[in-house]
Structure 1
Amino acid sequence: MKVFVTGASGFVGSAVVKELIANGHQVTGLARSEESAKFVSEAGAEVLRGDLESLDILQKGAREADGVIHTAFIHDFSDYQTNALKDQKAIEAMGEVLKGTDKPIVVTGGTLGLPLINGKITEESKAPAESIRFSEKAFVSLTEAGVNASIVRLSPSVYGNSELGFKGGFGLMLAELAKANGAAAYIGDGSNVWPAVHRLDAAKLFRLALEKGEKGARYNAVNNDKQLSMKEFAEYIGEKLNIPVESFSKEEAQQYFTWMTYFVQENCPAISTQTQETLGWNPSEKSFIEELDQYFF
């Protein structure tokens, strides 16, 4: 299959490109700079120059491919809504040229902030209509228009080492914040939990969703192994860095967490049981804590 991948030089997207090529697919990767283009080319993919706002280029990539995996996002969370809107427009533009075909498009979402079902965020958890989760809105609109769309919803902490260095999503940001402030913190009683997923496991899931996914399906990129509460995670960081651990009220937290405050107080007890059963996806890489121990502390 010839696959168009956006975000092809990114932390997750670059793993997706390698996973696809290793499994016999041809890849065209979107690249917004010369540096990104070189990175994508060296990975064995063709290069299409453009960015998330180059809607005509995105449509060209989608039109000429047999399937699309969309992992690109402008990772400036201090202006999340603006960037989420750009993401929505990009998804809708690619979806427009896929109408009337059976070509699959797999878009990227997140598990954080989704409603709980019997105490868990499952594949049946859907973003409410008033939500600013624009990629999920775009996915829904494409599905309703008959496009063969599915969505992979990432854990708050997507981690792993790569050519781009060690990264760990929001979890690593909290560890870095604690190191910079000389204290590890959580909000309230810290009972809220976050799941994690390794970038290589996530890449496998994107490939499986492309190859075997069902139209309209939601897949959770979540490792079902023990998920630490925010308090447990703060205590772990405090022990590793030999720094105090503090609990903040929501009002006090703003000064410490700044733009991350909203995200840090969210509870995300997500599971991927249905995803694993339907696609045969089995996360097998090292845990977030194991990787954090190896590359950060």
Structure 2
Amino acid sequence: MEQKINRKKVLVLGGSGFIGSAIVNLLISHSNKYDVWVLVHRSYNVQALESVKVIRGSLESLDLSWLDIIQPDLILHMARINGSGTRGRRRAARRGRKANLRLIDRIKLSCPEVHVIYVSGTLVYGDHGEKTVDEECALNPISYAREYIHAETPWMEALDAGEMKVSMMHPPWILGLQSWFGEFFIKFMKRHNQIPLFGNGNNWMSIIDLADCAGLILRYIESEKTNDIFNVFNPNGLIKMRDFVKLIQEETGLEIKKVPVEMITSTFDRATAEAFTFSLKSTSLHDELITTYTYKHLNPKNIIENNLSFSSL
């Protein structure tokens, strides 16, 4: 008689977003292991989510009685409330903090054993020049993280207090057409027939393809680790901004256009300028996760080639 496998119940918040969609697709491909529920806000690809259970709503409006119904084993949290400009981000962060505190309180009542994985980013570490940064690095948020970290703080406090099973993921520069790469590079190249070089290009970037970012988060889930911080990164993905731009030039043949910090600030804002000029070399104390994962796109050249292939340049 065949033994029935108990599938892990996973509730994904923000599952129709950039990173969320990639992770949900991976979970769907392992349907023998995971029973997936996805919270979606506004429109979503019905066909892509036809094999999962969909809950309509936002982080703020989520009917928390769903936690009683689902009794999830894992909550993947990628639902950030966004705002425009410094004031808008502050307001969004206050709303996000309130929604997260509300969610934490209900989790403690409804499913206290659930493992929550919150996906953040490396802007929370700040600028570190030539230094390598692992999970023990103190937080010094810059750019958009200055405001958004206030929404994340309840999860960090819960992790520090050991009162819940919480893990924080810190992915670096994720390449994808719906990411900063599509918004600031692909659009610029299509509009100006040039490649932008933001700032002087001396800052370190730790880049990773979207597929590998999602794959490493799934690798973490499968490791059964909890109460951790994990810098999701590709050890071969370290590159300076100027060399990143040169690789794009090799693929496209376009000339490079220098965009000074002052122009970034005046065109966008200070936060955007900081995001494109801060320097950070990611690494991780979870060496066993990094070394046992097989990267689909191994180095910056492979990562750039993959993303340009979808760009119609």
1:104 touches 1:210 (CA, 8 Å); kept in 2?
A: no
Note the alpha carbon deviations across 1:123-181, whole angstroms, 9 max, x for none: 2224248943235422212222601000111222243xxxxxxx252233332253124
SS in 1 for 2:125: coil
Note the alpha carbon deviations across 1:69-98, whole angstroms, 9 max, x for none: 112234556444433444333333322223
Structure 2 partner of 1:155: 172
In the TM superposition, 1:64-75 aligns within 5 A as 64-74=71-81
Tell me which amino acid in the other structure corresponds to 1:219: F
Structure 2 partner of 1:60: 65
| In the alignment, structure 1 residue 232 sits paired with structure 2 residue 243 | yes
Residue 261 (structure 1) shift: 1.7
In 1: Cα distance, 2:254 partner to 2:141 partner: 42
Question: Structure 1's 17 and 182: CA in aligned 2 closer, same or farther, altered over 3 A?
Answer: closer
Identity of matched residues, %: 20
Residue 13 (structure 1) shift: 1.4
TM-score of the two chains, using structure 2 as the length reference: 0.77
In the TM superposition, 1:77-116 aligns within 5 A as 78=85, 79-99=88-108, 101-115=112-126, 116=128
1:192 touches 1:268 (CA, 8 Å); kept in 2?
A: yes
Question: Structure 1's 238 and 20: CA in aligned 2 closer, same or farther, altered over 3 A?
Answer: closer
| In the alignment, structure 1 residue 139 sits paired with structure 2 residue 155 | yes
Tell me which amino acid in the other structure corresponds to 1:3: V
Structure 2 partner of 1:295: 310
Deviates more, 1:236-245 or 1:148-157: 236-245
Looking at CA atoms only, which structure, 1 or 2, has the larger radius of gyration? 2
Question: Structure 1's 94 and 181: CA in aligned 2 closer, same or farther, altered over 3 A?
Answer: same
Residue 280 (structure 1) shift: 6.4
Residue 46 (structure 1) shift: 0.8
Structure 2 partner of 1:38: 46
Instruction: Extract unaligned runs of 5+ from structure 2.
Output: 1-7
Deviates more, 1:78-87 or 1:12-21: 78-87
Question: Structure 1's 243 and 202: CA in aligned 2 closer, same or farther, altered over 3 A?
Answer: closer
In 1: Cα distance, 2:186 partner to 2:204 partner: 18
Structure 1 partner of 2:3: none
Instruction: Extract unaligned runs of 5+ from structure 1.
Output: 160-166
2:125 touches 2:141 (CA, 8 Å); kept in 1?
A: no
SS in 2 for 1:124: coil
1:85 touches 1:134 (CA, 8 Å); kept in 2?
A: yes
Residue 119 (structure 1) shift: 0.7
In 2: Cα distance, 1:280 partner to 1:139 partner: 28
Note the alpha carbon deviations across 1:241-274, whole angstroms, 9 max, x for none: 54443444432332455562221111122124x2
In the TM superposition, 1:230-269 aligns within 5 A as 230-238=241-249, 240-255=251-266, 258=269, 260-269=272-281
Question: Structure 1's 291 and 205: CA in aligned 2 closer, same or farther, altered over 3 A?
Answer: same
Residue 294 (structure 1) shift: 1.6
In 1: Cα distance, 2:35 partner to 2:223 partner: 17
**Corresponding residue to 1:206 among 195, 202, 217:** 217
In 2: Cα distance, 1:221 partner to 1:92 partner: 25
In the TM superposition, 1:113-128 aligns within 5 A as 113-115=124-126, 116=128, 119-128=131-140
Residue 284 (structure 1) shift: 1.3
SS in 1 for 2:204: coil
